[in-house]
Every structure is written in C-alpha cells, then in structure tokens.
Amino acid sequence: MKSTLDLLTGTAIGAIALAGLTALPAMAEPQGVLVIAENETPENLDPANATNSTVDQLLLGVYDTLVQFTAGDVEVTPRIADSWEISDDGQTYTFTLKQGVTFHDGSALTAEDVVFSLERLVAANAGVMNNMGTYSGAEAVDDYTVALTLDAPFGPFLSALARIYIVSKDAVEPHMGDDNARQWLAVNEAGSGPYTVTDYAPTEAVTLEAFPDYWGGWDGNHVAEVIFRYVSEPSTQLALLEAGEVHIAPDITVEDKLALQGRDGYIVDIGSAATPLYFYMNTASEGPMGDPAFREMIAQTFDRQLHLDQVLMGFGTLPDGPLPVGWMGHAAGTELPFDLDAARAMVEENGWAGTELLVRYLPDIQEEQAAVEQLQSNLGQIGITLTAEGMTWPAQAATTGSVETTADLNMLYSFPNFPDPHAVLNGNFNGALTGAKGGLNWAQYENPEVDALLNAAASSADPAERAALYAQVQELVGADHVAITVSLPGSVVALSDSVEGYVYNVAHHQTFNYMDIGLK
Amino acid sequence: MLTTPRSYPKSWVEWTAIVIAAIIVLTAVFGGLLAPHDPLVIDFRAKLLPPSGTHWMGTDGAGRDVLSRLLTGAQLTLLSTLSVIAVVLVIGCTIGIFSAFVGGWVDNLLMRLADIWLGFPPLILALGFAAAMGASLQAAIWALVFSWWPTYARLSRMITKDILSAKYIAAADTLGVPAWRKVVLYVLPNAFDVLIIQVTLDIAAVMLAISGLSFIGVGAQIPTPEWGAMIADGRDYVRNGWWIVIFPGLAIFFTALSFNIIGDMLRRELDPTSQRRA
Amino acid sequence: MTYILQRIAFSLLSLFVLVLISFLLSHIVPGDPAYVAAGPNAGAEKIAEIRAEMGLDKPVATQFFIYLGDVLRGDFGTSWFTHQPILQDIAQELPPSLELVLVAMVINLVVSLPVGLLTARFNGSRFDDLVRLVSIAGAGLPIFWTAILLQQKVAADWKLFPVAGRLSFEHRRFEGQTGFTLLDSLMQGRLDVFFDALAHLMLPAFALALLFTAVGVRITRTSMISEFKKDYVTLARAKGASEGRVMFRHVFPNGATPALTVFGMQFGWMLGTTVLVEEIFGRPGIGRYAVKAVTQSDIHGVVAVVFVVGLFFLVANLVVDLLLYAINPRKHLEG
C-alpha cells in the first residue's frame, strides 16, 4: 500500500535505442477467464492514485507508460518511448514515442497525450507526482517527441516515470470540470494497454477484457478476461480457490499456504520481495517517545527471529536494519537486537513502568496484527501498556498529518517502486517528507545530517559513493532509534496450477502480471 | 384471569438457565483468577493447537489459550454490556420520569422522539456513532447508549404516568410532597419489577450488539479478549482452527440464551400486563 | 381520513428526527467536522471550502437548515474516497441489500406466520414449549457467527450452496435493468440466472432471518392467542364451524394484522443488520459500504447509510400501517 522514491543507478547519456516491439497484426486470440481474489477494494481507477497497489494492479494492464519495469526485471525498459536522450546537464529528457499506439477510444497516442497526462497529475496534486523529484514541466516537440524538464538533476527520474500512466487527452479533456477529471477517471479509464475495464463495481468485482487492437499484439497464451473479485476474508478466499472459483488467492493465511504447498492442483509461488515492514516511533513526540533513551529501550523489545519463524513461517529474510539485506549500501548491525532483559533493566532504572503507548496498524494484514500482538505481549511483560488501534490505510495516513495526532508507534510497509536504496531510505527518513509534511516519514524524523546525505546520494552517479552515503544514513538512523524493522517477508501467492506465467514483480509489489498470464 | 402464586422457575429449562447464568456471572467476577494461562501473552510456537489436556479449548493464531481468553473476556463482555444498560437506565429513566412529571407538549414531543428513535436499527446507528468517535470498546459502548435510551424512557414514563394517576399520589400532592420524593417513594419501587425484566432481556440484545460491533472492527481492539472480537480474530483461521471461532460463539449464545429465558420467566411472573398461561 | 393524515404527519416528524440524527453525527463530531468531512490528506484550502459549504462558521441552527436543504435534494456530498456523489454510490449498493432483506423476510414470514398460528392454537402444549425454547435460542445466536458456520459447513464442506458472491461465474455477464438480480432475471426469462442468484442468497438470508424469525414467531403467537380468545371465535365454534375454518378464515387474517406492524419494523431493522453478513459472504451492499466508509473515515458515507436505512424503515412502516388501514379502517377508529 505504499511507495517511496526511486532511482536507478546508471545515468545514461546519449541515445538508448532498444529494439521496440514490432506491431504485428494479432495472430493468436486471447482466451479464458482469469479470476484473482483481492482482500482490499480499490480506491478508484484514477492514475493519480497509482501509488496504491490496489489501484496499480488494475491500471498495470489498462494503461501504458513511457518506460516500464516488467515482472522479474530490476531495470527500466522502453514501453511507449522507443528511445530517449538525456541532456548533458541532466535536466532535459527527450523521448521518441512509438507510432501506431491506439487508445481504447480509438485515438492515437501522441506527445500531446503525454503532456496532458503529466499536467493533469500536477494540477490534481496527485500522489504519484511525489515520486517525480525535481520534475518541472513537459512539452510536445512534435507528434512523437516529448521533452520533460527538471529543475535540477534527479537520478531516479526514469524509474519514477514507470508509474506515470498515460491517459487519452481526447477522452479525458471533456470531463476535466473543476476537479481535473478526478471524478470521471475514478470510474472510467482512458488507456491504451492490453486490457480495458468493462465493469467496475468496487465492492464486488472489476472486470478487464482484452483490447483486440492492442498495439503489442496478442501472440502467445493470454487470457481474454481478468476478474478481480474483492473477498476480504482469507477463509472465504481459500474456499473459493478450492472450489475453483478463483485462480489466484494471495491473501490466505500462511498456514493455509503451507498446507497447499503439498497438494495437487495448486502452486505456491514464492517471490523474493523487498518490502520491509516497520514500527515507526514518533520521534517528534512530546511524550516518552520523544526521548531517545526511551526509544532505545523500545528498540530492543521486538523478536524478529520469532516473527520470521512462527508468523511468516520462514517465508522471508531476517531483517538487519531498514534496508533490505544484500542491497547496495546495506550496513549491518545498525538496529539493536532483541533483548528484553536489557529493556527491562532500562525500564526499572528510569521508572518507566506504567507508561501507556498507542500503536496504529492495519488489521487486515495478518502479519501486522501478529507483530502488534508480539510487541504488546513483550511490552506487557516489562510493565508498559501498548494500546492498539486498527485502521485502514487512508485513515491511518491521515493521523500522521500532524505530530500531535501521530501515534507513538505506527506500522507501515515500505513498497519500494524499484530496487534501489533511495526508494526505501529517502521516503522513510528524509525530514522533508515527514507525515506532517504529507510524506511517509511517519516517525516525523528530522535530522539535517541525514537529509544532506540522502540528497547527495540522489544526485550522485557513482555507485561506490552512493553506497557509502547510504551506509552513513543507516548508521545515523539506527543511532537515533527511529524505527524497528520487523520483517522482510517474501511474496507468497497461492495459485491454481492451471495458471502459467505468473512472475512476481518487485517494482509493482502486490500486483499480478496478468498481461503475461495464460490458462492451461 | 387466574393468577398463580409466584413460583419462579417452572421447568428444568429455567433451572438450567439460572444455573448457567450464575456460572457466567461467577466467571465474570472471578474469570481472570480461573484462567489457567495468561490470556494476553502470546506464544507463536504454540499457535493453532487443537483442544487438548493442557489447552481445553485449544490455542488461537497467536498461541494464546482460548479458554483463558474466554474466561477473562467474560468479565469484559459482561461489564461492557452492563455499563451500557446502567447508563441507558439512568438516562432513559431520567428522561421518562421527567417527561411524565412535566406532561403537556414536552411529554408529547419527548415520547414521539423516543418512538421514532426506537425504530432505527441500533447497529447502523451505532456504526454512525463509531464513525464519528473512532473505533474502541468505549466508543461502541457509547454508541449503543446513544441508540438504546428510548426503551427505558418509554417504559419509565409509562409507569410514572400510571402511578401519578393513582389516588395516593393525589393525597401526597395535598400534603405538598416534592416531586423528587414522589419519585423515590413511589415511582422507583413500583418501576423495579418492570425494569428488571427489561434489563434481563436487554442483556442478551446489548451483548449481541457489542460483539457485532467488535466483529465489524469498530469495537474492542486487539488484544482485548471481548467475545465478538475473538470471533473476528479467529475467522481467518476457521478452516484449520475451528475452536477459535466456535467457543466464543457458544459463550455468547449460552449467555444470551440463559438471560433470555430468565427474562421470559420474570416477565411471566412479575409483569402484571403480560399474559399468563392457563 | 384523519388517521391517514395523522400517520403521514408522524412520518414527516420522523423524517425530521432522522435528519436531526444524521446532522448530529456529521456536524457534532469531536474535533473539526470540516476536517473529518474532508477526509485524510485534504489541504487547508479544501478544508476551508468544506467549512464554508457546511456553514460551520454560522450558528448551529443555520447549519442544520443548510444540511436539511442538502438532504432533501438528495445531496449527501461526495465521497472523498470514491470521488463519486454518495447518493450514486448508495443507489448502486442498495439493490443487493434490499434483495437480501426481501428473501430473509420471506423466510421469516413463511416460518413465523404458520408456526405462530399453530403454537397459539396449541398454547401450552409440548409443541408450544419446544417452539418457545427454539425461538429463545434463535434470539441468542450471534448473526455473524451463524453466518461463518453456515458458510464453512454448508457451503465450503457440503457444497450445498455457493460460498460467496452474488452470481456464479458463468452468469457474470448478466446485466439487469433494475439492479435486483432476481427481478431482472425473471423479466428476461432467465430462470437459470434466477435460481443461481437465489442459491447465492439462501445462506446469507437464512443467517440474517434467524434472529428476526425467532422474534416473529413469538409476536405472531401472542397476537393469535388474543384472537382465539375473542367472542366471535367461540361463536363460530358454537355454530359448528370446523377447527380448520376457525383457524384459517377467522383467527389467521385477524391475528396476522397486528403482527404485520412488527414485520414492517423488522424490515428496517434487517436492512440495518445486513452489515453482519455481507462481508462474510462477499456480497456488495450498503452494509459493506457502511463498514468501508467507517474504516476509511468517510463520515458522509456512513451518515448517508444511516439516513437511507432510516428512510426505508419509515417508508416500510408507513406502507404497512396504511395497508392495514385500507384492509380494516374500523380497527383504527376503535383504537
């Protein structure tokens, strides 16, 4: 449910011309219906909300982007843009667009549509634009050339563009109204992707159908129809999977997934996701959490190994600090290990017993609830009462809008938009992106030293230099006890074995590459 | 119509209900002490264990003993139910008695308001209230108070009106007995029987409503072992841990059932307006 | 005629109270109502706009009349979450809920009326005692618990009914005009769709109906007992009318009337209770919409559901009362 910034290492200078797909007339016919269960209903269909995975998973097949992260890939590849050029000062990106791309409304995709899409997102104050760094404007050079300008160099720019879905200007412009077409695009689509939305009933199901004139053609095994069925109960999802009424059930309990692993007719796909789960401590709090010594005590009260073994049932990696283990710049041992006795000693020494704390979390996510229960249980043993308040995503986000309403602890998954330290560290720890300033730094953490390091790393092109800068960031964040990194769960998805071609997409966590999926 | 002398429990069903209710009340008082395990401390290594000698009702998804949670939860569930009833009793009766004493258009308006209010489904009204207040067990309790008061307002108003029209009140009037003394001396003692019946019957209804709100997620929060919240918590595991869902449900069911039977019995025996069976 | 006018006046008063309750919920919330109404992440500008729109700077009475005007025009605001007018959202979610309630109501009536009549006739018998016990038990079942057990046992294990949803997969393209699948399928002569929709409705409707049927049986019984005691029944029996004739020609029609008032009220209550089964059976509906709105802090969405459910309650009661009056005007004059 969340996303952060971006950055892809190499800043390419000069023309990159990769072989685009030749738009051959469709030979094969897509066939069959793929049904995917989803526990959370989508906000709406607006590309402005594509940071949210429930929205993103629908738009992924409906819209096109200039560049893309395909499933299984960790670098951007061309999509609508055949090639691009980056100016020497790194502030102008000029894209050459593919010709012959048609929107579902029949109009041709041109540079005007790209400019229109971006301008609308800016005007609508869209969440996806938070990822766009120093972006300043777009201009159509000719029908198939578009130039995007930045105020300052911004390394991760191309990666951020992979979530900018392009809408048809012809279709959207008449509905702009005074809300930048937010109401219209919330329930209508104006894309050029392989699938069209034919039925949108967000408390029940959303139906996507193959678009016959898709520019990429329909070679290979594809499904003619994709249905997202909104089923909030894990037990109901399992019953539906067993009854053959859904093909993919991502939200059933880990115990049930383990049980399915050995059964005929089912596949349990395990993807190496990189989505750390955190407890953020409200570092700006007027209460006990504002005290670094108190946070140091809290930091030692969560048993990560137990969580991995018994809650995730081994599906995942033991976390070591906020950055996924093995990533560029990862610094080991920055967070304190679990040590309840040390925490107890601190509580006794400082007379903290009887302190009451509040944690907010999303009860629909089982491992979040389990982690809250673990923490409650441990804190209870050392005399600290932790009250939990279950919420849904937007409501929880709203409470972090000011320091006063931010709970002592907040649980949050970081869904990085691409595998780069910037995507994790910047959004979570940059003082310019605190919850109070509308960002996802829910620890309300402001440390000028950290901000300077993060900004320097974002505009650097040297991997070694960046790695060193990010390592420093982790040391500082660890010393300030800003967050407890709870887990690094794997992506575990239960499928019927009639599904082929499912691949986990690390840049679009909790989505499905139904464009590539076929039914046996 | 013949009136049989007061002979409370009439059948083994009523006896059983009284015994069960007594057990539940005792559990609510001593529940925490009876619990064989800590109801809050989790142990993931012992999760989803089926009922056995050590865990009579098995363990839940976090490895907590279901029986211990049920016993501890009895207090919480009953206490929240009784708080709702106690508050609506006070608020409702105050409005009802006030309305009866003042009479006239105020009385008319208040009772019309109560009639209308009574009609609205309490659950959805409480949901609206919880939305305005935020989700917690306290919010759920207030939400139910907000939707439940008219029952008692109407009842107490009816009784007060009845009493005020009696001859001895007229006599008291000539002696200059103040209104509050009339309430204490005549209204409350006479209202007792009728109110106790309503309270008994409402225990089941309020408890079901609270557990419903907790089930939806706007009531008790984790790790509170409120019975409705326990069912909500266990439903994810229902396919491989039926015991987490079954036992709290049975607890709600038997509590509601026994209090309903007792309420029914009290109505038969105490309420002069109810129909006695031949 | 006076009765009808009185009855309508009462309904209007009720409507006013309903608006008052909705107003209380949406305007008198702890904190800043504009902030709550704007939803999370709204900018200061948007909040100021909403404050002006709701008239929050004006006296409470003025605020109330602004609100009253909005509601009477069907303007419940725009959901900050779906970005759609709330009235439109509700219009989409209402038919599935109404359908569920109607089927539950049919179950309720089909059980309550005959069982109530028989227990009244055999008042005090073993059968009467048993039904009493069963109905008291039914009134103690938590609806959501019954729903889970029915779904897991009857649907998932025994496969007698579908697990969840509104229609089977093969009928996913079925399009209706009214949104009521049962009605639409009949209008199009699609019996296969009709029975499929009905099968999907059975378990949720049954779970919903249990509690209300338990009450319905007892209400019917009470009302029938007083009917059996009336002079005309004794007279009919004395004249040698068969017991069947006495029961079905005399007691039933007369005794059913007062019970109908209660069933009318139950309709509204049921609509307010669908929230407990819709989520479990993965059905769309206003209950599920309300829960979603609550958890997403969409106060206007919740208040709109409270209002709509209350409105249906009022209308159902009015219709039942007027119907009863039409059948037997004298009765009301006596009372």
Q: Cβ separation of A394 and C78 shorter than 8 Å?
A: no
Using a CB-CB cut-off of 8 Å, the residues of chain C touching B112 are 10, 13
Q: Which residue of chain B has the CA closest to C149?
A: B246
Whether the per-residue pLDDT at C79 is higher than 80: the answer is no
Structure confidence by residue, pLDDT tens digits, A477-498: 999 999 999 999 989 999 999 9
Q: Rg for chain A (alpha carbons), in Å?
A: 23
How high is the pLDDT of residue A435?
A: 85
With CA atoms as reference, the chain C residue closest to A245 would be: C169
Judge whether A331 and A469 are in contact, CB under 8 Å: no
Closest Cα in chain C to A438: C41
CA distance C50 to C39: 11
Asked if the Cβ–Cβ distance from A394 to C39 is below 8 Å, we say yes
Report whether pLDDT(A5) > 50: no
Q: Enumerate long-range contacts of A339-343, CB under 8 Å, 24 or more apart.
A: A339/A300, A340/A300, A340/A301, A340/A378, A340/A381, A340/A382, A342/A300, A343/A297, A343/A298, A343/A300, A343/A301, A343/A382
Interface mutation vs chain C, best among B10, B13, B14, B127, most C CBs within 10 Å: B127
Q: Output the six-digit token pair for B143.
A: 């939400």
**DSSP assignment string, B156-195:** HHHHHHHHHTSHHHHHHHHTT--HHHHIIIIIHHHHHHHH
pLDDT digits (tens, 9 = 90+) for A408-438: 999 998 888 777 888 889 889 999 888 888 7
Which positions in chain B touch C149 (Cβ < 8 Å)?
245-246, 249
pLDDT attached to residue C43: 57
- Give the Cα separation of A177 and A174 in Å (integer): 8
- Which residues of chain B neighbour A311 with C-beta distances below 8 Å? 44
B277 and C120 Cβ atoms separated by less than 8 Å = no
Query: Cα–Cα–Cα angle for A273, A60, A111, nearest 5°?
Result: 125
| Cβ within 8 Å, pair B278-C144 | no
CA angle A94, A97, A99 (to 5 degrees): 160
The confidence band for A342, taking pLDDT boundaries of 50, 70 and 90, is very high
Range name among A5-9, C293-297, C304-308 with the lowest pLDDT average: A5-9
Q: Report whether pLDDT(A348) > 90.
A: yes
pLDDT exceeds 50 at position A26: no
Looking at residue A11, its pLDDT comes to: 35
Which of B1, B10, B116, B230 is the best residue to mutate to test the C interface, defined by the most C CB atoms within 10 Å of its own CB?
A: B116
Average the pLDDT over A10-25 and give the result: 37
**CB A394 to CB C280 under 8 A?**
no
Asked whether the predicted pLDDT for residue A465 surpasses 60, the reply is yes
**From the CA of B134, how many Å to the nearest CA of chain A?**
9
Share of chain B above pLDDT 70, in %: 93
* β pairing state of A67-68 and A77-78: antiparallel
Q: How many other β-carbons are positioned within 10 Å of the β-carbon of residue A292?
A: 15
Query: What is the Cα A227 distance to its own chain's centre?
Result: 22
Confidence of residue B126 (pLDDT cuts 50, 70, 90): confident
Tell which wins on pLDDT, B117 or B256.
B256
- The residue in chain B having the minimum alpha-carbon distance to the alpha carbon of residue A237 is B236
Q: DSSP letters of A7-18?
A: --S----S-EE-
At C92-121, the pLDDT tens digits run: 899 999 999 999 999 999 999 999 999 999
pLDDT mean over C295-314: 83
Task: Say what the pLDDT of residue A23 is.
Answer: 41
B270 vs A66, B265, C110, CA distance in Å?
Answer: 79, 8, 33
pLDDT of residue B6: 47
- Residue C36's pLDDT band, with cuts at 50, 70 and 90, is low
Q: Which of A326-335, B190-199, C74-83 has the lowest mean pLDDT?
A: C74-83
The predicted model scores a pTM of: 0.85
B113 contacts: CB under 8 Å, gap ≥ 6: B150, C17
Query: What local confidence, expressed as pLDDT, does residue C17 receive?
Result: 83
Interchain contact, C39 vs A239, CB within 8 Å: no
- pLDDT category of residue B8 using cuts at 50, 70 and 90: low
pLDDT greater than 70 at residue B46: yes
Q: Residue C51: pLDDT band by 50, 70, 90 thresholds? A: confident
Mean pLDDT across chain A, nearest whole number? Answer: 88
| A373: nearest CB among B62, B135, B238 | B62
Q: How many angstroms separate the CA atoms of A228 and A198, rounded? A: 12
Chains that touch A (3 or more CB pairs under 8 A): B, C
Q: Is residue A15 pLDDT above 50, yes or no?
A: no
Residue C39 pLDDT: 54
Q: Evaluate if residue A190 carries a pLDDT over 90.
A: yes
Question: Which tops the pLDDT comparison, B123 or C181?
Answer: C181
Residue C216 reports pLDDT greater than 80: yes
Q: Give backbone dihedrals phi and psi of A138, rounded to 5 degrees, phi first.
A: -130, 150
pLDDT digits (tens, 9 = 90+) for C240-280: 888 888 888 888 888 888 788 888 888 888 998 998 999 88
Strand A409-413 to strand A356-361: parallel, antiparallel, or no bridges (unpaired)?
Answer: parallel
Give the model's pLDDT for residue B4.
44
Assess whether pLDDT exceeds 60 at residue B260: yes
Task: Give the pLDDT band of residue C44 (cuts 50, 70, 90).
Answer: low
Sheet of A356-361: strand order equals A316-317, A483-489, A277-281, A409-413, A356-361, A385-390
For strands A135-142 and A145-150, give the pairing: antiparallel
**pLDDT per position as a tens digit, B262-271:** 988 888 877 6
The rounded distance, in Å, linking the Cα atoms of C55 and A52 is: 33
| pLDDT tens, residue by residue, A288-305 | 999 999 999 999 999 999
DSSP E strands: which ranges in C165-323?
Answer: none
Residue with tokens 């092109």: A461
Q: Which of A117-121, B186-190, C72-76 has the lowest mean pLDDT?
A: B186-190
* First-to-final CA distance of chain A: 31
Q: Which of A124-128, B166-170, B243-247 has the highest mean pLDDT?
A: B243-247
Report the pLDDT value the prediction gives residue A404, as an integer from 0 to 100.
Answer: 87
Say yes or no to pLDDT of A24 above 50.
no
Task: Output the CA angle A251-A517-A171, nearest 5 degrees.
Answer: 95
The pLDDT, as a whole number, for residue C32 is 61
Q: List subunits contacting chain C, requiring 3 or more Cβ pairs under 8 Å.
A: A, B
Q: Which of C93, C155, C296 sits opposite A394 (nearest CB)?
A: C296
Contacts of B245 in chain C (CB under 8 A): 145, 148-149
Nearest CA-CA distance, residue A336 and chain B, Å: 22
- How do residues B127-168 score in pLDDT, each as one tens digit? 877 777 777 888 889 888 888 888 899 888 988 888 888 777
pLDDT tens digits, A57-83: 999 999 999 999 988 887 889 999 999
* pLDDT for the residue numbered A246: 94
C residues 119-148 closer than 8 Å to B (CB)? 123-124, 129, 132-133, 136-137, 139-145, 148
Say which range, A4-18, A213-227, B216-230, has the weakest mean pLDDT: A4-18
Please give the radius of gyration of chain C, using alpha carbons only, rounded to the nearest integer. Answer: 23
pLDDT, residue B275, reads 47
Give residues 13 to 42 of B whose Cβ lies within 8 Å of C: 13
Tokens of A204: 């029940």
Whether residue C303 lies within 8 A of chain B, CB to CB, comes out as yes
Tell me what pLDDT residue C45 has.
Answer: 65
Cβ atoms of A365 and A392 within 8 Å: the answer is no
Chain C CB contacts of B217 under 8 Å are: 291, 295
